[in-house]
Amino acid sequence: MKYLYDDVSNKISKIITNQYSTSFSFSSRLLGQNIRPAIYSIYGLVRLADEIVDSFHGYEKEAMLAELREEYNKSIQRKISINPVLNSFQKVYHDYNFEPYLVDKFFDSMAMDLKPKDYNKSLYNQYIHGSAEVVGLMCLKVFVKGNRDKYTKLKDSAIKLGAAFQKVNFLRDLEFDNIQLGRTYFPDLDLNNMTNVEKNKIINDIDKDFSEALVGLKKLDKDSFFGVYVAFRYYKELLKKINKVNLSRLRNERIRISNLRKFSLVLNSAIKSNLGLLR
């Protein structure tokens, strides 16, 4: 009857994805049914760790994150866990031959969030690598279905896409990260005295990541391409909207894309995809 438990584990990871991220769950639904559960499982673990460091205020965050990491390691050794999220993730880990490095670096970045800190360039790059780039590589493992040559060829683009998504999130969440969590991820940035020059420099850096990511994105298989491309277009649209707002609004408001605009992006992405006009 273990298959019932595995099925429930997968469903719980899917519920977590749908409840916590409208944009991620929206684009995940456009992936092929054969790979969708694995992506939900990856997001489930990522969200669980993220909630510990971002939301569980008043609780022993450090101990809880350490316990999650320990239980993760046990789940990999045992190939099962009584934590449904870890149970679904460990199967994906083994099915797609994840390197331990990918998950270890993710947990390292989550640990960096336990205490407020000012990020220099080195810490910024370290954090982005562990919180986003390796997650992109985990997803790529699923997308290429064990094809090592394809993974190697698309690896750099997956890293750039993960980094671009994370940097856009940083810009979108400036106020929450700074005021609520005491974090400013961008190196040497004084949020209260942020200038348009600094803002434009960050946006240009993200645009460069998006351009490099698109090179590999175009080479994804059919069952993964469209879902990833829609996510790519969504974050590009979000960055475009951020670029247009003034600094005061950016510092005090979480910029969003309406559901109507999201649906419009799906239709537009389908047209561009069919016509070969990807950008």
Q: What is the DSSP string of 120-186?
A: -HHHHHHHHIIIIIHHHHHHHHHHHTT-HHHHHHHHHHHHHHHHHHHHHHHHHTHHIIIIIT--B-S
DSSP conformation letters of 98-120: --HHHHHHHHHHHHHTTS--B--
pLDDT value of residue 274: 56
Per residue in 65-100, pLDDT (tens digit) is 999 999 999 999 999 999 999 999 999 999 999 999
Give the CA angle between residues 261, 264, 267 to the nearest 5°. 160
Q: If you average pLDDT over residues 193-211, what whole number do you get? A: 93
Position 265 scores a pLDDT of 72
pLDDT, tens digit, 9 for 90 and up, residues 133-169: 999 999 999 999 989 999 999 999 999 999 999 999 9
Q: Of the given ranges (20-24, 60-64, 168-172, 198-202), which has the lowest mean pLDDT? A: 20-24
Which two tokens mark 124?
């910024």
CA distance 155 to 161: 10
Domain 2-275 coded CATH 1.10.357.10: no
Specify the higher pLDDT residue, 194 or 102: 102
pLDDT tens sequence across 99-142: 999 999 999 999 999 987 778 899 999 999 999 999 999 999 99
Q: Which of 27, 62, 57 is nearest to 43 (CA)?
A: 27
Domain boundaries, the chain: 2-275
What is the spatial distance between Cα 132 and Cα 106, in angstroms, rounded to a whole number?
8
pLDDT band at 273 (very low <50, low <70, confident <90, very high): low
Two tokens at 176? 């929450």
Whether the Cβ atoms of residue 128 and residue 165 lie closer than 8 Å to each other: no
> How far is Cα 75 from Cα 86, in angstroms, rounded to an integer?
7
